[in-house]
Amino acid sequence: MVDKASFLGIGWSFPPSFNKYSATVDMTTEEADIEKSLEIILTTQPGERIMRPLFGCNLIGKVFEAMNSTETQQVINTVKKSILLYEPRIDVTDIYMDVEDSLEGKFLVHIEFVIRSTNSRRNIVFPFYEKEGTEL
């Protein structure tokens, strides 16, 4: 029997953490690895990774935009494109946004997806907001 984790993936936890007792790197597996991958894709700005300058999703700057229907659709299209390019283990079924708090510099991106290898449905919500003391 094939181990489910073998085809869903195993990766380092992010941010990387180490177990001093076993002298190993903490790992994420299965669905948690996919969710962490999505988080990394959506929170990485293009240009942050030197060897992969196009990797990521340009969403952090959108917290300062007026979230009208045009901006909302641009965010949705950006998220779809980034997931299509960088996360081949899933099929996105729906992406929608909650812009109720956009005047406070916050919006939520809801992603519904199906894991290709197991055909299991999942959803995840990513908050984007201005963090105090940081420049975006």
Nearest to 102 by CA among 132, 130, 133, 82: 130
- pLDDT on residue 36: 86
- pLDDT on residue 74: 93
Does position 1 have pLDDT exceeding 50, yes or no? no
The type of residue at 127 is: P
- pLDDT on residue 51: 93
Q: Which CATH class is domain 4-129?
A: alpha beta
Give the pLDDT confidence of 61-100 residue by residue, as tens digits: 788 888 889 999 999 999 999 999 999 989 999 999 998 8
| Stretch 40-44: mean pLDDT | 91
Instruction: Please give the residue that has the higher pLDDT: either 98 or 12.
Output: 98
Question: What are the extents of the domains in the chain?
Answer: 4-129
Q: How far is Cα 42 from Cα 60, in angstroms, rounded to an integer? A: 9
What's the mean per-residue pLDDT of the chain?
A: 82
- pLDDT on residue 132: 54
